Amino acid sequence: MINIQDILETNRMIQENNLDVRTITMGISLRDCCHPDIDVFCDNIYRKITHNARDLVRVGTDIEEEYGVPIINKRISVTPIAIVAESCKTDSYVKIAYALDRAAKEVGVNFIGGFSALVPKGYTKGDRTLIKSIPQALAETERVCASVNLASTSAGINMDCVREMGEIIKMTAELTKDRDALGCAKLVIFANAVEDNPFMAGAFHGVGEAETTINVGVSGPGVVKRALEEARGRDLGVVAEIIKKTAFKITRVGQLVAQEASKRLHVPFGIIDLSLAPTPAVGDSVAYILEEIGLESCGAPGTTAALAMLNDAVKKGGLMASSFVGGLSGAFIPVSEDAGMIAAVERGALSLEKLEAMTCVCSVGLDMIVVPGDTPTSTISGIIADEAAIGVINNKTTAVRIIPVPGKTVGDRVEFGGLLGHSPVLKVNQFSCETFINRGGRIPAPIRSLTN
Amino acid sequence: MMKVVITVVGTDQVGIIAKISTILAEHGVNILNINQNILDGYFNMVMIVDMTSATVPLKEVQKLLTAKGVEMGLEIKAQHEDIFMLMHKV
């Protein structure tokens, strides 16, 4: 028989502490859609996506109602378009972004990921066309998300692409300046990108994946924070233990939702992504957890250590709760999407440099970072290169989602709305890295021993 | 057996259990366990029911209970028991 206390605890987590399943993401392979005529290709992918995902939103809503746990997003990831569109005889993939956007709207998902290219070692023709199409594609579609994987531990860092992405980000910002450069919020630059990430904007359906899969991303910073309130004054071993237990409970809910969704949609279950994904809602913040652990403000000395422990404990607890864990799996620290991070930046406690240090110990990188619109292209490339280096050397995924908002400067505020939140503009180091970035070429893959 | 957990929270008043169990009985839902108490004037109840022989799906029962909850000023939730079982058992 179920314990009454357990029932009340579960419902308190959902009602008071924002426990939810952040996303059910259906991965769909588009490898059988290729065609030299781009219009036929667009038709193929539209038909395949809308056919496979036709019941996704309804099933998600049914599960949500039956179990009484909110499922915030239903999303779709597809095979990187640079690969499947490569045989199209065209010099722009913007039309394909339109087709993805239409498909997303037709089935009712709020984002579709996979307008992506994988170029850690170099470009193919399709990769170049895709990257060139990103600014216009993001400006002229609503729900399409783009990503570029430009570095890996086995290949090194494609510095030509690092340089190019600085320009692409600035162009995307310029084309969407009427919306505070919103286009950049839909563009992620990766090192060591994973193939089964259910979270946007960086989701794509990797080439090693099955025809279709269901991947689920859990959430629950609010639940962890609440659980830690009971342990004030206790040592860090106790804190780690509580985080583990809480992560177990959160992940179980994700596992349940994933299994049900997989069964009802007749799509194989892929993975649970054990990420603590915050939202701008008060009480659903990773920064507040760090502060609960004992920091006056997120960003204070000790932040990296506390975050490392949090991230590790979440994984240990989550792994016990699900047989298949994958994706990014770690605490997210998107600035604009986390009320505590926003507050920390506003009070001057959290800088870009500290955020960079934090990304060494958690997923996934410099996320939703708003910087002045006049930040030089090479500086943006430099930030990408630094973050890629952290990923490559530490054999982990890192990413950059940076938003240089035209016309905004340090101290201004930018409002994206919804889950993307709002953010103050962060200060960027004023010294130049232009000569370094302009060298181009490739940073070789790192040695995997003598790792000090 | 398809077990569902019904939780009811709100201001105490006459007839809460009566009205809820009437809805359940009318739709073939069998009550297995009731745990109810009053805390600071607040009515708290957790009910475990079996819907194996129910004449309507869970969605419909949820709709009826929510409507009754709105009428009586109570928050009534009905959830599949798996969410509780899985979360709290290794």
The answer to the question of residue A79 being in a domain is: yes
Please name the residues in contact with A373: beta carbons below 8 A apart, sequence gap of 6 or more: A173, A177, A181, A404, A405, A406, A407, A408, A409
Cα angle at A35 between A33 and A38, to 5 degrees?
105
Q: What is the pLDDT of residues A250-271, one digit of tens each?
A: 999 999 999 999 999 999 999 9
CATH number where A142 lies: 3.20.70.20
> Residue A67: phi, psi to the nearest 5?
-100, -10
CA dihedral (A225, A229, A235, A239) in degrees, to 10, reads -30
Bridge partners for A75 per DSSP: A25
Question: What pLDDT is stored for residue A5 in this prediction?
Answer: 86
SS (H, E, C) chain A: CCCHHHHHHHHHHHHCCCCCEEEEEEEECCCCCCCCCHHHHHHHHHHHHHHHCCCHHHHHHHHHHHHCCCEEEEEEEECCHHHHCCCCCCCCCHHHHHHHHHHHHHHCCCCEEEEEEECCCCCCHHHHHHHHHHHHHHHHCCCEEEEEEEEECCCEEEHHHHHHHHHHHHHHHHHCHHHCCHHHHHEEEEECCCCCCCCCCCCCCCCCCCCEEEEEEECCHHHHHHHHHCCCCCCHHHHHHHHHHHHHHHHHHHHHHHHHHHHHHCCCEEEEECCECCCCCCCCCHHHHHHHHCCCCCCCCCHHHHHHHHHHHHHHHHHHHCCCEECCCCECCCCCCCHHHHHHHHCCCCCHHHHHHHCCCCCCEEEEEEEECCCCHHHHHHHHHHHHHHHHHHCCCEEEEEEEECCCCCCCEEECCHHHCEEECCCCCCCCCHHHHHCCCEECCCCCCCCC
- Kindly list the distances between the CA atom of residue A46 and the CA atoms of A99, A134, A313, B85, in Å, as whole numbers in the listed order: 6, 19, 41, 40
Q: Do residues A19 and A222 make contact, with C-beta atoms less than 8 angstroms apart?
A: yes
Question: What pLDDT is stored for residue B14 in this prediction?
Answer: 93
Q: Which secondary structure element, helix H or strand E, spans residue B6, and what is its range? A: strand B3-11
- Mutation for B interface: A14, A64, A66, A71, most B CBs within 10 A: A66
> Residue B36: phi, psi to the nearest 5?
-135, 140
Of A2, A249, A320, the CB nearest to B81: A2
Nearest CA distance, A10 vs chain B (angstrom): 7
Question: What pLDDT is stored for residue B18 in this prediction?
Answer: 94
Question: What pLDDT is stored for residue A236 in this prediction?
Answer: 96
Which domains are delineated in chain B? 3-88 (3.30.70.260)
- Kindly list the distances between the CA atom of residue B47 and the CA atoms of B6, B24, B78, in Å, as whole numbers in the listed order: 5, 11, 9
Q: Would the CB atoms of A10 and B88 count as touching at under 8 Å?
A: yes
The answer to the question of residue A273 being in a domain is: no
Question: What pLDDT is stored for residue A444 in this prediction?
Answer: 97
The answer to the question of residue A45 being in a domain is: yes
Residue segments in chain A with a per-residue pLDDT below the cut of 70: none
Contacts of B90 in chain A (CB under 8 A): 248, 320
> Residue A192: phi, psi to the nearest 5?
50, 50
Q: Do residues A128 and A160 make contact, with C-beta atoms less than 8 angstroms apart?
A: no
Q: Would the CB atoms of B46 and A249 count as touching at under 8 Å?
A: no
The answer to the question of residue A65 being in a domain is: yes
The answer to the question of residue A397 being in a domain is: no
Among the listed residues A77, A71, A97, the one whose alpha carbon sits nearest the alpha carbon of residue A30: A77
Q: Total domain count for chain A?
A: 1
Q: Does B63 touch chain A (CB under 8 A)?
A: no
Q: Would the CB atoms of A67 and B83 count as touching at under 8 Å?
A: yes
Contacts of A252 in chain B (CB under 8 A): 86-87
- Say whether pLDDT at B50 is over 80: yes
- Mutation for A interface: B6, B56, B83, most A CBs within 10 A: B83
The answer to the question of residue A128 being in a domain is: yes
- Is the ipTM higher than 0.85? The answer is yes
Question: What pLDDT is stored for residue A26 in this prediction?
Answer: 97
Q: Do residues A262 and A24 make contact, with C-beta atoms less than 8 angstroms apart?
A: no
Longest dimension (CA), chain A: 68
Cα A369 from chain centre? 13
The one-character DSSP state at B15 is T
Q: What is the pLDDT of residues A118-142, one digit of tens each?
A: 999 999 999 999 999 999 999 999 9
Q: Does A4 touch chain B (CB under 8 A)?
A: yes
Contacts of B84 in chain A (CB under 8 A): 2, 6-7, 10
Of B46, B83, B90, the CB nearest to A68: B83
Among the listed residues A366, A379, A390, the one whose alpha carbon sits nearest the alpha carbon of residue A437: A379
Q: What is the pLDDT of residues A81-102, one digit of tens each?
A: 999 999 999 999 999 999 999 9
Question: What pLDDT is stored for residue A450 in this prediction?
Answer: 82
Place of tokens 């040592």: A235
Contacts of B59 in chain A (CB under 8 A): 62, 65-66
Range of the domain at A155: 26-191
Nearest CA distance, B15 vs chain A (angstrom): 22
The one-character DSSP state at B73 is T
Q: Which secondary structure element, helix H or strand E, spans residue B36, and what is its range? A: strand B30-39
The answer to the question of residue A136 being in a domain is: yes
Q: Would the CB atoms of A67 and B82 count as touching at under 8 Å?
A: yes
Q: Determine if the pTM surpasses 0.95.
A: no
Phi-psi label, residue A348: left if phi above 0, alpha if psi -120 to 50, beta otherwise: left
Q: Would the CB atoms of A8 and B90 count as touching at under 8 Å?
A: no
Q: Does B62 touch chain A (CB under 8 A)?
A: yes
Q: Would the CB atoms of A2 and B77 count as touching at under 8 Å?
A: no
Question: What pLDDT is stored for residue B90 in this prediction?
Answer: 82
